[in-house]
Structure formats: C-alpha cells, structure tokens
C-alpha cells in the first residue's frame, strides 16, 4: 500500500512551536518515525511538507494517481482552504486527517474542518503518535 503523508503550513516548525501543545519532535524526527512505523506495518510511505498552499494542492493532485491512501495534516489550512478541499475531492482512496493537537478543544475557528465529508478517519490530539494511529488504521483496512 502506497501512502502519501502530506504535512502543511508551519509543520516545519515542529520542535520550535509551543512544545506543551505540539511536543519536542522536529519535522525530521516525525518523518523518521513515520518511515519506521511504515516499515513495521509493511506500508510504503512518502512524506512531504510545504508552507505553500499551491504546492500542497499539487501534492494532492500527484496523489490522485500515485497513492492508495493519504494522511493529511494541512495545519491551519484545514480550517479555511477551499482550494485544498477542492483538490482532495476527486481522490477516491482512503484519507486520514491527523492533527497533533486536539483542535476540538482549542479556539472556535479550529473546530471546523473544510475537509469534513472527504476524510475516512480523523485522528486528533495524540501528538505525533497520531500519525502511527493513522498508519495502523490504513494497515487494518489493507488487512481487513
């Protein structure tokens, strides 16, 4: 199973942002861990991150024909980027939305996801371990 893990805006600042909310791991640490979890679960992953919304849209376009599943964490774009929603809409595979912090317990504007209805699963508030849970959900679907 080929999985694109797509991280969005400001996730390159992991380890430097509010550590009580996002933890100490850097984006590099996170990606290293994702690749290790993927090996354990016999999944093939590609991690990508950008701070440019158009590039994130291009990542989603590339996934249309190249990924069996997508793990998305668009960061703040989750709450307002209709362009990202429109780019994800034609995707026919499984999509797992991940957020490191518990967005449902934060500011009111963070409680809304423009991706609602397009994602198969949502994992929030589990720190970087949420990515492991997302990969486990995908492995369970593959094996189920």
Q: Is 79 a catalytic residue?
A: no
Q: Which of 56, 91, 99, 131 is catalytic?
A: 99
Are the C-beta atoms of 70 and 95 separated by less than 8 Å? yes
Adjacent-strand bridge partners of 54: none
Contacts of residue 121, Cβ cutoff 8 Å, sequence gap at least 6: 94, 95, 96, 97, 134, 137
Handedness of CA 118, 139, 52, 100 (dihedral sign): positive
Q: Which of 22, 56, 91, 131 is catalytic?
A: 22
Q: Is 22 a catalytic residue?
A: yes
Catalytic (active-site) positions: 22, 99
């Amino acid at each position: 199973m080929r999985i694109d893990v797509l991280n969005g805006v400001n996730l390159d600042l992991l380890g430097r942002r509010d550590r009580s909310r996002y933890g100490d791991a850097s984006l590099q640490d996170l990606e290293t861990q994702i690749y290790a979890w993927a090996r354990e679960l016999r999944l093939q992953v590609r991690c990508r991150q950008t701070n440019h919304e158009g590039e994130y849209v291009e990542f989603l376009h590339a996934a249309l024909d190249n990924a069996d599943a997508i793990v998305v964490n668009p960061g703040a774009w989750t709450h307002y980027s209709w362009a990202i929603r429109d780019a994800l809409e034609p995707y026919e595979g499984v999509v797992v939305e991940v957020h490191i912090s518990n967005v449902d317990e934060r500011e009111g504007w963070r409680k809304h996801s423009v991706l609602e209805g397009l994602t198969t699963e949502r994992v929030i508030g589990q720190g970087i371990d949420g990515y492991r849970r997302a990969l486990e959900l995908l492995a369970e679907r593959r094996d189920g």
